[in-house]
Amino acid sequence: MYSKKNNSKDQTMLDEKTITWFMACKAEDVPVNGGVCVKYHDVQIALFHFTRKNEWYATQNECPHRRQMALSRGMIGTQGDEPKVACPFHKKTFSLATGECLSGDECAIKTYPVRVENGKVYIGIEE
């Protein structure tokens, strides 16, 4: 188990042990400035290509407001410098970077690291 006394090498080893990168899809499968839903086992993940900012984000697909599996179909944009997604049901917005609810509610969403290599998109899952 990780403790704060470990040096950075241990932290790296921890990351290698606990983050599983799975190939979610091809980069071309994700719409420009939009999202898709991908599954990792039984977990639905919303994957977004924020083309305008040349950035990728992944979050849980379930909106915590009414538990709709909908965030991958939400509109993305920015609030100040913060990239965000708006749930298509009641328009609550969430930071794509941190998962924080930007609509003033307590609910936050889970975010996942994303990397793109050779045209393939990988999402990191902590296990």
Q: Which of 25, 44, 89, 124 binds ligand FES (CB under 6 A)?
A: 89
Binding flag, residue 123, ligand FES (CB under 6 A): no
Beta pairing, strands 120-126 & 114-117: antiparallel
Q: How far apart are CA 106 and CA 91, in angstroms?
A: 15
Asked if 87 is part of the footprint of ligand FES (rule: CB under 6 A), the reply reads: yes
Specify the residue, 11 or 79, whose C-beta has the smaller distance to ligand FES: 79
Residue of 82, 118, 81, 97 lying closest to 48 (CA atoms): 97
User: Contact residues for ligand FES (CB under 6 A)?
Assistant: 63, 65-66, 68, 70, 87, 89-90, 92
